[in-house]
């Protein structure tokens, strides 16, 4: 995930703490409510003791009644506090989740394509959802439980010590086993759990591979062997789960054993003291109740520890994204050009580019005058797409190598430049929205007439007329499926919508038939005469009429000139042209 | 694929569906004994749990109350014994339940995987691999909760509740009835809570799905967003969804914040009632102190399962949704199956006859139209044609990856549909255009999972295709690691490896879909000589792109727009000056452009 150089490194928790200030009142009230709720809960056991004492001495029932009423009153007050805890602390955690998710997505939207090339979509999504949830659990519920535990433990222990220091001491001896054994058990569970996760990942990978290679599996009749192999993996997974199960199974009984043995100690020691007349029965009963209050917070400690562990790991994963910066400078302090007056002159000067180590473009020099059309042809991997991607600033370019209107591309305000560039790719990405919304993606305020106008330009209007809701038809998964050619034409319309000065068609008509393609080119040229156009194509027919054509190989221009010149040259371009003429003839047979 | 899943998840099923539950329970049938033992142990656990307060009562009334220290010691020991026994039985019961749950998951996982292995290719065309993997892995795991903490735990809770009610009535039925007066209140509160939470839970799920869909879409389309300067408007759109999710969460917090304290107040109310009315009874000698203590403890125990309820509710809901998806998959059966009484083909000569073959992937979109030809044993047939002419489809029909609609394909006179699929495929070997390499080692990619093929046979096959020269560069010979999709190998190496795979399985008929991607000259020579070895002495059908392969074929079939237009040797077809002639010239052009040597 270290896609780009990280320049600012936040300390781990600053992602969270910088928002905490906003919610300080939630925090203050929340903590007060925790203290209130638990403090109030400490009283009823004592009241129970008083009731028992009264009953033993035979005091009037009205006193008992009052005590009972006090108990219920306290419970209501404590209930209100508990409501407040959730309403403040958990509430705050949802606020923080919203804030951090917003920050994360805003940041993601600004990261350059090289980040997305290196990170899988699923992984990025997991960080914005699952990891964020783990962080929230750490801020919200874990915080609530830890506060609870602290208050209850101190309160209950104080009350117990006040009632009978000796009995408290006895009760605490088995209680000491708790943190120690739980911690040890917790560690063991954690280790086994990791093993299970690892094996699960393996099992998933095997399954994924098997299903992706299903043709080979079937052709070589490996189904039964695959099933057997999978059964072994599943069996191993079963055994690993059982080994964890043995611990899980021990967890609860062990906990209960310790908890109830506390009661046993109190019952025995306390009972003896009652017989000797040293304490009252009510004290013993109150002790039971306090012990009951202590058990939950003790388990919660283990839980909180694991929430904390998971939370910090997830927080680190989120910080990794937040600490990644875009490798493309967003622009200069003072724009050197008014975007309205962009002419569309593009110049490459000894351009060199490499994604990682492997060079993609080498010493490429070329000038495209305003209003000119450049055709770029070459084999797959020759650097055609990279060349135009650099112009659209999808990847960083070194200084003094690429100029637009004689200004270094790095000095352009990135948004101003992009507003002047219309870009379409071979496999255009459409959003699951209406046809109209896809077309006016770059200009949300465009009217439906304007949309229809550019659709006409892109030779899409006739297709749209046949869609069920015309321009309001949804595309994608929840709507109609467009053909490859239709998608490409929507993308061309989308690019034309922003009335660019520079139009880049990156193999944008590969699925459109030659006649329609010609039509589109004619219309676009007629519509915008001063349009500088870059056409990347596998098809010679797309670039035939260009003012200038370059043939790229291994990132170098090996042939350059217009169609006639290159045909006369009789080399690679001419070969390609003849092959395509033949293919067309074949098609028509 | 991810987006698909999220949309799917939006449609939430019922929380409890008796039909699904019944079907899930059938998986427990093989483990009847374990189920009964687990249930029995659970009863014992419940009994021992309820015994604790009862022992306390005896200790207080009979010993502490009567100043009997020896008796107290005895009851203390009994108490300890009950505790240890309780812990032991609970351990056994929990472990058995976990065992049971995992065993059933193991069974279901295998069943789903095996089912997928039997599905035909049209199914795979329609279902993205990622989604299918989710069914086998995550969805099956989600069911765990139903078996381990769902079914059994609920039975246990119900039994404990019943037991508590019984004991309370036994101690003092009047006081018990007074205590139970709060139960309707509790039921009402729980009922309202359940209804509210169900709706809000649905809302949360739908909005989480919405967020996921947004992320999926905008991460995939990030370039478009940036190129069109829509970062800010995309963020505004996201913020709306993010806000609506937060609002749904707030509602859910509110309900939980109301529910838990309310249950607690009700339980205090119950204890208050016990203390007050119990006090009266003690006053009038109708009840003992011990009974009162036991009563309070039992009433507290009574509320515990109710507090867990909301948790279990969410778990159950998720499990139901997963089981529905799994069962849907299991209920989809393969449309291509072996006949019930298949014709046997003992010895295959490799004679193939195709008659009036028609095939379409969908309805009337014919990919192959009325194709007829026959192949004699040992012949080498090259199929040529432009992209989309139906060449690869023809090959997949031999494997019955898909079924043809009309006409027939016969192998040694037997119609393919009359043969067992397994036996049919045992005579064929397929080399695909896009070589699929499994992660594992080199040997594993040659023999696949067929252990009958020895290491020596693997080496022999690798040697014959000329792969051994690369083998020397790998560290562990045929045991060298190969990464997923052959990431560490060159295109040429991958092709040779797939040839070795075909050779090692020694088929009667070879089907080859030649790769179009270019390789360096040296590898090209290697591949050409490996191909010769491959074709040696067996009927071969090749979707050919290499001029060398085409020229050396015994017969060339020219497919054009799904029709068989020309057939003959290279020489004959060139003389005809028809489609083949053009194709051949096109192919040599392409090869020239690709290799770049003029």
| One-character DSSP codes across B125-183 | HHS-HHHHHHIIIIIHHHHHHIIIIIIHHHHHHHHHHHHHHHHHHHH-HHHHHHHHTTH
* CB-based contact A373:A545 (threshold 8 Å): yes
A12-322 topology per CATH: ABC transporter transmembrane region fold (1.20.1560)
For testing the chain B interface, which of A202, A267, A299 should be mutated: the one with the most B CBs within 10 Å? Answer: A267
> Among all residues of chain A, which has the CA nearest to that of B268?
A72
Contact A227 B243 (CB under 8 A): no
Which helix (H) or strand (E) is B354 found in, with range? strand B352-360
Interface A–B counts its CB contacts (< 8 A) at 363
**Ranges for all domains in chain A classified under CATH 3.40.50.300:** 344-588
B574 Cβ neighbours under 8 A, 6+ residues apart: B580, B581, B584
Torsion of CA A285, A289, A295, A301, to 10 degrees: -130
A344-588: CATH architecture: 3-Layer(aba) Sandwich (3.40)
Residues of chain A above pLDDT 90, percent: 6
Region of poorest pLDDT, from A212-226, A509-523, B27-41, B74-88: A509-523
Q: How far apart are CA B112 and CA B137, in angstroms?
A: 10
**Interface mutation vs chain B, best among A83, A215, A271, most B CBs within 10 Å:** A271
Judge: B133–A208 Cβ closer than 8 Å, yes or no. Answer: yes
CA distance A253 to B93: 10
pLDDT winner (highest mean) among A233-242, A277-286, A373-382: A233-242
Rounded Cα distance between A122 and B22, Å, is 35
ipTM of the assembly? 0.80
Using a CB–CB cutoff of 8 Å, tell me whether A448 touches chain B: no
**pLDDT, one tens digit for every residue, chain B (598 residues):** 333 343 444 444 455 577 888 888 899 899 989 888 988 888 898 888 888 888 888 888 888 777 777 888 888 888 888 888 888 998 998 899 889 889 999 999 999 999 998 888 888 887 777 778 888 887 888 788 777 766 677 777 788 888 888 888 888 888 888 888 888 888 888 888 888 887 887 788 788 878 888 888 888 788 888 888 888 888 999 999 999 999 999 998 899 889 888 888 888 888 888 888 877 777 777 777 777 778 878 887 777 776 666 567 666 776 777 888 899 889 988 888 888 888 887 788 888 999 999 998 877 778 899 999 999 998 899 998 877 778 888 888 888 888 888 899 998 888 888 888 888 888 888 888 778 888 888 888 888 888 888 889 998 888 888 888 787 777 778 888 887 667 667 778 888 888 898 888 888 898 888 876 666 667 777 888 888 888 888 899 988 877 778 888 889 999 888 888 888 888 888 888 888 888 887 777 766 665 543 3
* Cα atoms in the Cβ-side hemisphere of radius 13 Å centred on B516: 10
What is the CB-side half-sphere exposure of residue B136 using CA atoms within 13 A? 30
Task: Specify the pLDDT at position A2.
Answer: 42
pLDDT at B9: 41
CA distance A350 to chain B (A): 24
CATH 1.20.1560.10 residue ranges for chain A:
12-322
Instruction: With a cut of 80, say whether residue A119 has pLDDT above it.
Output: no
A260: which chain B residues are within 8 Å (Cβ-Cβ)? 52, 83, 86
Q: Name the minimum distance, in Å, from the CA of A91 to any CA of chain B.
A: 7
Query: What number of residues does chain B have?
Result: 598
| Cβ–Cβ gap B283/A61 under 8 Å | yes
| CA–CA distances in Å: residue B470 to residues B219, B371, B496, B515, B529 | 40, 42, 10, 20, 16
Amino acid A239: pLDDT: 93
Q: Kindly report which listed range (A87-91, A378-382, A535-539) carries the lowest average pLDDT score.
A: A378-382
Residue A122: which of B2, B103, B225 has the nearest Cβ? B2
Q: Do the Cβ atoms of A418 and B228 come within 8 Å? A: yes
Q: How far is A283 from chain B (nearest CA, A)?
A: 12
**How would you write B478-512 as a 3-class SS string?**
HHCEECHHHCCCCHHHHHHHHHHHHHHCCCCEEEE
Q: What is the DSSP string of B538-574?
A: SEEEEE---HHHHHH-SEEEEEETTEEEEEE-HHHHH
What's the pLDDT band for A331 if we cut at 50, 70, 90? low
Query: pTM score, two decimals?
Result: 0.74
- Residues A484-499, mean pLDDT to the nearest whole number: 86
Rg of chain B over all Cα atoms, to the nearest angstrom: 36
* Confidence bin at A303 (pLDDT 50/70/90): confident
Taking CA–CA distances from B517, the nearest residue in chain A reads A380
Q: Look at residue B150 in the predicted model and tell me its pLDDT.
A: 65
Phi/psi of residue B439, nearest 5 degrees = -70, 145
Which A-chain residues 537-566 have CB contacts (< 8 A) with chain B? 553
**Cβ distance of B227 and A223 shorter than 8 Å:** no
Least Cα separation, residue A365 to chain B (angstroms): 22
Q: How far is A294 from chain B (nearest CA, A)?
A: 14
B-chain residue closest to A273, CA distance? B64
For residue B96, what is the nearest residue in chain A, using CA coordinates? A249
Nearby residues of B259 by Cβ (< 8 Å), 6 or more positions away: B189, B190, B193, B197, B310
Of B3, B235, B590, which is closest to A106 when you measure between CB atoms? B235
State the Rg of chain A over Cα: 36
Q: Which of A211, A221, A578 is opposite residue B589, by nearest beta carbon?
A: A578
Return d(Cα B448, Cα B438) in angstroms, integer.
Answer: 9
Average pLDDT value for chain A: 82
Residues in chain A: 589
Residue A191 neighbours by CB under 8 Å, 6+ apart = none
> Residue A563: pLDDT band by 50, 70, 90 thresholds?
confident
Hey, is B276 helix, strand or coil?
A: helix
């Amino acid at each position: 995930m270290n896609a780009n150089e990280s320049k600012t490194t936040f300390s781990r928790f600053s992602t969270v703490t910088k928002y905490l200030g906003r919610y300080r009142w939630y925090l203050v009230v929340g903590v007060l409510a925790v203290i209130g709720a638990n403090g109030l809960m400490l009283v009823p056991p004592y009241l129970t003791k008083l009731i028992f004492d009264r009953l033993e001495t035979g005091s009037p029932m009205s006193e008992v009644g009052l005590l009972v009423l006090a108990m219920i009153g306290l419970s209501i007050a404590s209930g209100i506090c508990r409501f407040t805890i959730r309403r403040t602390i958990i509430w705050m955690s949802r606020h923080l989740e919203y804030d951090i998710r917003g920050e994360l997505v805003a940041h993601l939207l600004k990261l350059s394509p090289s980040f997305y090339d290196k990170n899988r979509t699923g992984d990025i999504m997991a960080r914005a959802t699952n990891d964020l949830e783990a962080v929230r659990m750490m801020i919200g519920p874990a915080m609530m439980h830890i506060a609870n535990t602290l208050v209850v433990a101190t309160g209950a222990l104080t009350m117990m010590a006040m009632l009978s220091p000796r009995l408290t001491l006895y009760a605490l001896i088995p209680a000491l086993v708790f943190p120690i054994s739980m911690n040890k058990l917790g560690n063991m569970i954690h280790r086994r759990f990791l093993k299970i996760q690892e094996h699960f990942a393996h099992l998933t990978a095997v399954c994924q591979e098997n299903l992706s290679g299903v043709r080979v599996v079937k052709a070589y009749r490996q189904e039964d062997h695959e099933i057997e192999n999978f059964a072994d993996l599943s069996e191993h997974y079963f055994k690993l789960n059982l080994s964890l199960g043995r611990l899980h199974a021990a967890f609860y009984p062990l906990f209960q054993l310790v908890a109830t043995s506390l009661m046993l100690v109190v019952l025995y020691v306390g009972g003896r003291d009652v017989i000797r007349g040293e304490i009252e029965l009510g004290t013993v009963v109150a002790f039971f109740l306090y012990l009951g209050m202590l058990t939950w917070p003790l388990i919660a400690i283990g839980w909180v520890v694991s929430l904390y562990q998971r939370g910090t790991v997830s927080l680190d994963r989120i910080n990794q994204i937040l600490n990644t910066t875009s490798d493309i400078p967003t622009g200069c302090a003072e724009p050197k050009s008014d975007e309205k007056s962009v002419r569309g002159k593009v110049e490459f000067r000894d351009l060199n580019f490499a994604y990682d180590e492997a060079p993609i473009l080498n010493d490429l020099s070329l000038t495209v005058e305003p209003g000119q059309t450049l055709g770029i042809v070459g084999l797959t991997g020759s650097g055609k797409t990279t060349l135009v991607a650099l112009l659209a600033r999808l990847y960083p370019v070194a200084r003094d190598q690429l100029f637009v209107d004689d200004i270094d591309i790095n000095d352009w305000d990135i948004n101003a430049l992009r507003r002047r560039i219309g870009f379409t790719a071979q496999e255009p990405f459409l959003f699951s929205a209406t046809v109209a919304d896809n077309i006016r993606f770059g200009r949300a305020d465009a009217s439906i007439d304007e949309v229809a106008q550019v659709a006409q330009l892109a030779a899409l209007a006739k297709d749209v007329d046949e869609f069920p809701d015309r321009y309001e038809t949804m595309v994608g998964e929840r709507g109609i499926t467009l053909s490859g050619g239709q998608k490409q034409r929507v993308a061309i319309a989308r690019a034309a919508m922003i009335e660019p000065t520079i139009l880049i068609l990156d193999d944008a008509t590969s699925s459109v038939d030659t006649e329609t393609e010609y039509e589109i080119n004619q219309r676009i040229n007629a519509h915008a005469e001063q349009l500088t156009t870059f056409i990347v194509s596998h098809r010679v027919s797309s670039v035939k009429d260009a003012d200038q054509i370059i043939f790229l190989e291994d990132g170098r221009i090996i042939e350059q000139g217009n169609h006639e010149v290159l045909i006369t040259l009789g080399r690679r371009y001419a070969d390609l042209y003849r092959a395509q003429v033949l293919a067309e003839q074949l098609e028509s047979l | 694929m991810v987006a698909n899943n999220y949309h799917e998840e939006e449609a939430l099923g019922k929380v409890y569906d008796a039909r699904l539950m019944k079907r899930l329970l059938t998986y427990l049938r093989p483990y009847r004994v374990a189920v009964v033992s687990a249930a029995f142990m659970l009863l014992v656990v419940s009994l021992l749990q309820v015994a604790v307060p009862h022992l306390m009562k005896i200790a207080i009334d009979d010993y502490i109350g009567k100043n009997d220290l020896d008796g107290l010691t005895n009851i203390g020991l009994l108490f300890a014994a009950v505790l240890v026994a309780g812990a032991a039985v609970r351990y056994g019961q929990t472990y058995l339940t976990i065992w049971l749950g995992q065993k059933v998951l193991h069974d279901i996982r295998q069943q789903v995987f095996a089912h997928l292995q039997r599905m035909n290719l049209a199914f795979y065309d329609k279902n993205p691999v990622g989604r299918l993997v989710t069914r086998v892995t995550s969805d099956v795991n989600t069911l765990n909760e139903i078996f381990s903490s769902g079914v059994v735990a609920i039975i246990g809770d119900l039994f404990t509740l019943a037991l508590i009610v019984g004991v309370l009535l036994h101690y003092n039925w009047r006081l018990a009835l007074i205590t139970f007066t709060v139960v309707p209140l509790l039921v009402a509160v729980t009922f309202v809570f359940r209804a509210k939470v169900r709706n809000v839970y649905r809302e949360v799920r739908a909005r989480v799905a919405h967020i996921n869909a947004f992320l999926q879409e905008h991460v995939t389309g990030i370039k478009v967003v940036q190129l069109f300067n829509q970062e800010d408007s995309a963020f505004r759109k996201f913020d709306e969804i993010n806000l609506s999710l937060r609002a749904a969460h707030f509602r859910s917090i509110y309900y939980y914040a109301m529910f838990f304290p309310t249950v607690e107040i009700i339980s205090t109310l119950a204890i208050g009632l016990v203390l007050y009315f119990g006090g009266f009874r003690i006053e009038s000698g109708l009840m003992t102190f011990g009974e009162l203590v036991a009563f309070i403890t039992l009433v507290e125990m009574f509320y515990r399962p109710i507090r867990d309820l909301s948790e279990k509710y969410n778990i159950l809901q998720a499990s139901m949704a997963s089981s529905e998806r799994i069962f849907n998959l299991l209920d989809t059966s393969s449309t291509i199956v072996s006949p019930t009484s298949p014709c046997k083909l003992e010895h295959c000569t490799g004679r193939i006859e195709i008659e009036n073959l028609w095939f379409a992937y969908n309805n009337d979109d014919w990919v192959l139209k009325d194709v007829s030809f026959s192949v004699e044993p040992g012949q080498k047939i090259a199929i040529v044609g432009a992209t989309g002419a139906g060449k690869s489809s023809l090959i997949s029909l031999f494997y019955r990856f898909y079924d043809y609609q009309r006409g027939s394909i016969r192998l040694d006179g037997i119609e393919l549909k009359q043969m067992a699929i397994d036996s049919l495929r045992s005579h064929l070997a397929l080399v695909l255009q896009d070589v699929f390499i499994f992660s594992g080692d080199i040997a594993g990619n040659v023999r696949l999972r067929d252990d009958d093929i020895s290491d020596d046979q693997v080496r022999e096959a690798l040697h014959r295709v000329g792969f051994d020269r690369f083998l020397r560069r790998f560290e562990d010979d045929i045991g060298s690691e190969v990464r997923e999709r052959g990431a560490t190998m060159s295109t040429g190496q991958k092709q040779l490896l797939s040839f070795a795979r075909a050779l090692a399985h020694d088929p009667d008929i070879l089907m080859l879909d030649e790769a179009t991607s270019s390789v360096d000259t040296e590898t090209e020579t290697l591949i050409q000589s490996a191909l010769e070895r491959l074709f040696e002495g067996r009927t071969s059908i090749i979707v050919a792109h290499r001029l060398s392969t085409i020229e050396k074929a015994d017969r060339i079939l020219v497919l054009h727009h799904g029709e068989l237009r020309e057939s003959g040797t290279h020489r004959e077809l060139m003389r005809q000056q028809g489609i083949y002639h053009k194709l051949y010239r096109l192919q040599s052009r392409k090869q020239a452009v690709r290799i770049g040597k003029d």
